Amino acid sequence: FLPPAAPVMPPSCCGYLSQYTHHHLVAFLLTFFSYVLLHASRKTFSNVKVSISAQWTPSVQNGGAPAFSPEETWEDNHLFADEKQATLFLGALDSIFLFSYAVGLYLSGVIGDRVNLRYVLCFGLCGSAAVEFLFGTLTEWLHIYNKYLYCGLWVLNGLLQSAVWPCVVAVMGNWFGKTGRGFVFGLWSACASVGNILGAFLASSVLKYGYEYAFLVTSVVQFAGGVVVFFGLLTSPKEVGKDFELGHFESETGLGPVETDTDSHRPLMSDEEDEVEAYARRHPSVQQTEESLECSQAISFFQAFRLPGVVPYSLAYACLKLVNYSFFFWLPFYLSNNYGWKEAEADRLSVWYDVGGIIGGTVQGLISDCMGKRAPVLSLSLALAMGALVGYSRSPNDQLINAVLLAVTGFFIGGPSNMISSAISADLGRQEALRGSQEALATVTGIVDGTGSIGAAAGQYLVSLIESKLGWMYVFYFFIVMTGGSIVFITPLFIRELCAMWRDRRALRRQL
């Protein structure tokens, strides 16, 4: 007779960083700054919307000085009769970008699992930088103003940028196993928020020379970053060598071996063992053998879509990304339009939302590691986010109070968004059902982020429409409803994980 096994407790939240080497650090930093540069250039568009709107409307409407001499040349080149039409078109451009970005994510995730991740990543970075230069700088220098050209370039930009996120998450998933993934990925997922902050400061620093220079600076920096990544990034431990992959490097570093790919497949997100086993029985082609570990194959898109947890987290992320990206695209415009603050001031103030997101993603990821569960942390944060949205919608015309409320809102909205898009996507792409096919991480990440981008794309046009018809207060009501939708979709996972925690607690008491 053997006593029942003690429940598996989550690993210690401290001490696991010592297992990593300089190869892990380089992979962390290169993927981190790849997405920092991408988001900095993406943020530029939202930071210069006021200037673009003024450039695209007649001077008699926007109150600005004519951009050309003589004035008739300006009147021949304006795109819209008034600022409201320009605002609606800017919202349509956001939706166009996100729809093409969503479609591209579904495709690039599949491609990333079949082609060298470094090639796909660098193609996306450098190609997107070139398109942004054409969109924001070259068209302004040559005085080319055409709605169809702008739409076409922004569709292409969305497709190219979609190649980056699945690749960087897949590279991180290759290098960092399950232990401490919530903390490591929570810290790493701050890349988007750091990029927003960098983009805001770059745009505000050169905006006095014209919005085209904001696009010029960020696109050149992003292109240079793509070149550095191409020559410096190792996409997995396999590229270092077999000895490193197997962890036989203790004599050189004095450290214990890092987790192998096998370790990283252990489930963390919930009490999923039964569901995973059922999935494996339905799909025997993805069961693992020692031979197939050496020759991993990518799974199909539909197999990845049917993995446990993918659909509920994707739908929850669709609602949450709508809210998060509405702040991303519209916050500087809202601050300038609603409070009358200067565009450069609004750009700098908007970074507090991202500061809150950075702290929220890291802290909540660490807590979820200590608990060994993700859904309870997400549910509580999203419930508090609804209250934060109510509070921020009633912020007075005071920049200090607004900044504090922004940081709190970013903590409870940006934090869960970062967790789903990074740590949870890596959990989903490295779960037990995939032991026969390790090449699924980019595909799963593309599905989760692609579904989120579809929700965000629909939301951006709705934001501009609701604002023009009903005002900003109803936009915030819309955000609250969407945040509640995220909670609804993860509720089954939340209940399952609570039940698992209760069973573990009872088992531990019996052992004591």
Q: What is the pLDDT of residues 312-357, one digit of tens each?
A: 888 998 899 899 888 887 888 888 888 888 877 887 888 899 889 8
Domain that holds residue 31: 22-56+78-239+298-511
> What was the pLDDT predicted at 432?
62
Query: Is 1 part of a structural domain of the chain?
Result: no
Of residues 353 and 98, more confidently modeled: 353
Residues in the chain, overall count: 512
**pLDDT(59) > 50:** yes
pLDDT of residue 178: 62
Q: Minimum mean pLDDT among 96-100, 247-251, 375-379: which range?
A: 247-251
Q: What is the mean pLDDT of the chain?
A: 77
pLDDT for 349: 86
Contacts of 292 (CB under 8 A, 6+ apart): 436, 437
* Least confident span in 257-266, 386-395, 470-479: 257-266
Residue 421 lies in a domain: yes
Over 90: is that where the pLDDT of 205 sits? no
Among 71-80, 132-141, 245-254, 368-377, name the one with the lowest average pLDDT. 245-254
For the ranges 18-22, 247-251, 324-328, the one whose mean pLDDT is highest: 324-328
Q: How does residue 70 score in pLDDT terms, banded at 50, 70 and 90?
A: very low
DSSP letter string, 143-169: T---HHHHHHHHHHHHHHHTTHHHHHH
SS3 439: strand
Residue 67 lies in a domain: no
Count of domains observed in the chain = 1
76-80, 172-176, 180-184, 198-202: least confidently modelled range: 76-80
| Amino acid identity for residue 392 in this structure | Y
pLDDT above 50: residue 68: no
Lowest mean pLDDT among 175-184, 276-285, 437-446: 276-285
For residue 76, what pLDDT band results from cuts at 50, 70 and 90?
low
The pLDDT score that the predictor gives to residue 182 is: 67
More confident of the two residues 419 and 160: 160
Task: Report whether pLDDT(278) > 70.
Answer: no
- Quick check: 250 pLDDT over 70? no
> Chain centroid to CA 7: how far?
34
Q: Is 244 within the bounds of a domain?
A: no
Tally helices (H) and strands (E) across the chain: 25, 0
Lowest mean pLDDT among 57-61, 98-102, 175-179, 413-417: 57-61
Does the residue 264 lie in any domain? Answer: no
Is the pLDDT at 279 greater than 60, yes or no? Answer: no
- pLDDT for residue 458: 82
> Quick one: pLDDT at residue 480?
94
Q: Is the pTM of this model over 0.95?
A: no
Whether pLDDT at 438 is above 70: no
The yes-or-no verdict on residue 265 having pLDDT over 60 is no
Instruction: Provide CB contacts within 8 A for 129, sequence distance 6+.
Output: 41, 219, 220, 222, 223, 226
Indicate which CATH number applies to the domain containing 114. 1.20.1250.20
Query: Is 226 a domain residue?
Result: yes
Give domain status of residue 227, yes or no: yes
User: Which pLDDT value is given to residue 298?
Assistant: 60
Q: pLDDT at residue 69 above 50?
A: no
Residue that wins the pLDDT comparison between 485 and 17: 485
Enter the tokens of residue 358: 């950075």
Looking at residue 341, its pLDDT comes to 83
Mean pLDDT of 25-53: 87
The CA distance from 376 to 38, in Å, is: 31
Of 158-172, 428-442, 464-478, the least confident = 428-442
| Tens digit of each residue's pLDDT (9 = 90 or more) over 442-474 | 777 778 888 888 888 888 778 888 888 888 899
In-domain check, residue 146: yes
pLDDT for residue 299: 67
Least confident stretch, 26-30, 87-91, 175-179, 442-446: 175-179
Binned at pLDDT 50, 70 and 90, residue 66 comes out as very low
pLDDT recorded at residue 487:
92
Helices (H), 296-398: 301-305, 310-339, 343-371, 375-393
Q: Write down the pLDDT at residue 106.
A: 81
Question: What's the pLDDT band for 93 if we cut at 50, 70, 90?
Answer: confident
Cα separation values, 296 from 206, 248, 258, 292, 437, Å: 48, 22, 20, 6, 5
Q: What is the pLDDT of residue 159?
A: 92
Confidence of residue 277 (pLDDT cuts 50, 70, 90): very low
Taking the mean position of all CA atoms in its chain, how far away is CA 492?
A: 24
Residue 151: per-residue pLDDT: 92
The torsion region of residue 49 among left (phi > 0), alpha (psi -120 to 50) and beta comes to alpha
3-state secondary structure of 243: helix
pLDDT at res. 343: 74
Share of the chain above pLDDT 90, in %: 19
pLDDT of residue 435: 55
